[in-house]
């Protein structure tokens, strides 16, 4: 029996990037070295996000605020405006102890991280600052 009162929400976060930090890396290094630096930084960001996701799934919030701050700085250094901003929002939820808001904003961080880091989705909804 269909329920006409149920609405399925499909959030569509706009992913914003600032090309400045990456441009600076390429301006200061030769192309091969810059490729290495950016690839390594993106890999570290993805691994850190994966580790945090595992930690949150295990309901282990130990040192999560500090780790989110580190993740936020890494994203800022790569010009990942949306990713860095949502990391800050999650930290705000932790600071206030609002578990409901934390759950919602954490889900948003997972979506933004996936769209920011997944190669096949990297340019989907891309908006340069």
**Residues 2-11: contacts with CB within 8 Å, 24+ apart?**
11/108, 11/111
**Interval 105-129: pLDDT, tens:** 999 999 999 999 876 554 444 444 5
Mean pLDDT confidence for 76-102: 96
pTM of the model: 0.82
Query: What distance in Å separates the CA atoms of residue 61 and residue 46, rounded to the nearest whole number?
Result: 19
Residue 6, pLDDT score: 73
pLDDT in tens, 21-77: 999 999 999 999 999 999 999 999 999 999 999 999 999 999 999 999 999 999 999
């Amino acid at each position: 029996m269909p329920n006409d009162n149920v609405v399925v929400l499909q959030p569509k976060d706009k992913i914003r990037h600032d090309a400045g930090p990456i441009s600076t890396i390429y301006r200061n290094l030769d192309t091969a070295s810059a490729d290495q630096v950016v690839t390594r930084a993106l890999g570290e960001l993805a691994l850190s996000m994966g580790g945090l996701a595992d930690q949150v799934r295990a309901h282990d919030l130990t040192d999560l605020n500090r780790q989110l701050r580190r993740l936020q700085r890494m994203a800022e250094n790569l010009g990942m405006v949306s990713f860095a901003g949502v990391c800050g929002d999650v930290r705000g939820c932790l600071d206030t102890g609002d578990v409901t808001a934390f759950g919602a904003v954490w889900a948003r961080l997972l979506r933004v991280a996936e769209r920011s880091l997944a190669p096949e989705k990297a340019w989907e909804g891309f908006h340069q600052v």
